[in-house]
């Protein structure tokens, strides 16, 4: 049993494998002729006014192509161009089937969408991937054949990406348009969106996945995939609050809430205080805490019979579904939030961080900065700005100072021990100076 012939695609033209029959007889005006030293036959068929070409691949497969023109000279030129490009690709180890980078992007995104639909997970990740492709990768590489992109082209992309927001396409962009809840929302393009591309890891991950997709579909030979060297961000310790600063911040919460001018403002400020306290008590990422529902809140007893608070991070997050055990401070926060809501507002499918009218709140970054300013804690002693992420860094730093292993901290925070060692090793060394110097043994007061 012979294997069914597969259509080839060269120079954007579909080439149908020929069944091995000779071209049908033609009149003298349409007499067949050969080009490329006899390797390509150009002929007419009785069922079409256009010319066709016939040639063999290096594997011996016959390929018949419609040249889509009744003009003899144009047909000869098209047949020669197609065959010579095929020979060039074979000689240089390029894939015979071609696709533009932009086309591969479309196929890759479609496959990712199918995966999200199948598993119901990682929709936020897909949104982030799509944004990087549509804003940076597709505009730069879009019309290039994917198998002709070289390491030099990647380097030129880096230069273009570095100036995207200063003198490039993004220099004139003042706002970000996106869809939320079926509505088109336009928001000022904050500095956090104006990355200079110094950390190439997020885009490199997407770029590698696009090339892998191209290789899977036969649009690039795996050995032709260019090397993509990731630029690692500078490993600076993250800005955090000391234990004393965190307590001092929480102590100002009531005064900051009371300073709100309207009931709505005071309600939003109280939610912000609760949000920050929960981050300090769990080390969760702000994006993870913002997606909590009341059904994700669970109290349980451990092996010692001690009651603890457990929060379930959503599937639709960076790490996927996982459990997070909170410090006692987190329990007090959740109890307080529950007392402030009627039972209907605490149904399993209701958002944990929502207004009394059940409107979900996600813009805690802006509100937290206002609270930090009210408390006089916008920066750490080195002048580095504090953000909501500072709460996560505070939790990790304090947990390590308490003597928890990097493994336990990593599991609870949904990260790796390597990442904790990378960013927090300097901090833990100074916090445990007495232990490291031998002046105090663990367990001694």
All structural domains of the chain: 8-91 (no CATH), 101-224 (no CATH), 243-437 (1.10.443.10)
**pLDDT reported for residue 82:** 86
Output the CA–CA distances (angstroms, integers) from residue 5 to 8, 22, 63, 180, 315, in the order listed: 9, 17, 10, 47, 43
pLDDT tens digits, one per residue of 306-330: 899 999 988 777 777 889 999 999 9
Structure tokens at 151: 């390491």
pLDDT tens digits, one per residue of 84-135: 888 887 887 766 677 899 999 999 999 999 988 888 777 778 888 998 999 9
Output the CA–CA distances (angstroms, integers) from residue 162 to 150, 156, 199, 313, in the order listed: 19, 10, 10, 34
Length of the chain equals 445
Output the CA–CA distances (angstroms, integers) from residue 165 to 162, 173, 195, 198, 213, in the order listed: 8, 8, 8, 13, 29
Buried b (16+ CB within 10 A) or exposed e, 285-306: bbebbbbbbbebbeeeeeeeee
DSSP-derived pairing of the beta strands 183-188 and 175-180: antiparallel
370 neighbors 387 (Cβ within 8 angstroms)? no
pLDDT tens digits, one per residue of 184-199: 767 666 544 556 566 7
In the block, tokens 């007893």 appear at: 301
What single DSSP character describes residue 315?
S
Rounded to the nearest integer, the mean pLDDT of the chain is: 82
Structure tokens at 21: 């029959």
pTM: 0.57
**Angle, helices 389-401/417-431, rounded to nearest 10 degrees:** 60
pLDDT tens digits, one per residue of 366-394: 999 999 999 999 998 888 889 999 999 99
**Closest by alpha carbon to 288, among 374, 392, 211, 387?**
392
């Amino acid at each position: 049993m012979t294997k069914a012939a597969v259509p080839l695609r060269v120079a954007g033209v579909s080439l149908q494998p020929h069944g091995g029959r000779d071209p049908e007889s033609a009149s003298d005006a349409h007499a067949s002729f050969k080009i490329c030293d006899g390797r390509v036959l150009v002929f007419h068929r009785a069922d079409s006014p256009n010319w066709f070409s016939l040639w063999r691949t290096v594997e011996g497969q016959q390929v018949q192509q419609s040249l889509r023109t009744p003009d003899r000279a144009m047909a000869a030129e098209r047949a020669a161009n197609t065959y010579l490009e095929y020979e060039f690709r074979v000689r240089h180890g390029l894939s015979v089937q071609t696709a533009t980078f932009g086309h591969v992007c479309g196929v890759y995104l479609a496959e990712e969408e199918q995966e999200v639909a199948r598993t119901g997970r990682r929709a936020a990740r897909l949104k982030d991937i799509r944004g990087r492709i549509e804003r940076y990768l597709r505009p730069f590489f879009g019309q290039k054949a994917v198998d002709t992109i070289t390491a030099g082209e990647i380097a030129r992309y880096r230069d273009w990406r570095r100036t995207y927001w200063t003198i490039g396409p993004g220099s004139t962009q003042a706002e970000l348009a996106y869809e939320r809840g079926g509505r088109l929302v336009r928001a000022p393009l904050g500095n956090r969106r104006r990355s200079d591309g110094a950390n190439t890891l997020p885009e490199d991950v997407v770029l590698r996945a696009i090339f892998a997709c191209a290789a899977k579909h036969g649009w690039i030979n795996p050995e032709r995939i260019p090397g993509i060297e990731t630029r690692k961000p500078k490993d600076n310790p993250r800005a955090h609050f000391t234990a004393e600063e965190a307590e001092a911040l929480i102590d100002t919460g009531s005064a900051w809430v009371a300073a709100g001018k309207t009931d709505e403002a005071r309600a939003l400020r109280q939610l912000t205080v609760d949000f920050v306290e929960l981050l300090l008590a769990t080390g969760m990422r702000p994006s993870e805490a913002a997606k909590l529902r009341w059904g994700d809140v669970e109290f349980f007893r451990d092996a010692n019979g001690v009651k603890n608070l457990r929060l379930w991070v959503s599937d639709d997050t960076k790490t996927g579904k996982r459990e997070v055990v909170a410090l006692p401070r987190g329990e007090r926060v959740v109890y307080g939030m529950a007392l402030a809501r009627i039972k209907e507002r605490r149904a399993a499918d209701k958002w944990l961080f929502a207004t009394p009218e059940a409107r979900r709140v996600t813009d805690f970054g802006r509100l937290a900065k206002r609270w930090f300013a009210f408390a006089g804690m916008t920066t750490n002693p080195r002048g580095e700005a504090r953000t909501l992420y500072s709460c996560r860094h505070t939790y990790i730093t304090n947990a390590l100072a308490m003597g928890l292993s990097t493994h336990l901290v990593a599991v609870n925070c949904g990260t790796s021990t390597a990442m904790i060692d990378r960013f927090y090793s300097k901090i833990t060394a100074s916090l445990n100076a007495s232990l490291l110097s031998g002046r105090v043994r663990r367990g001694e007061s």
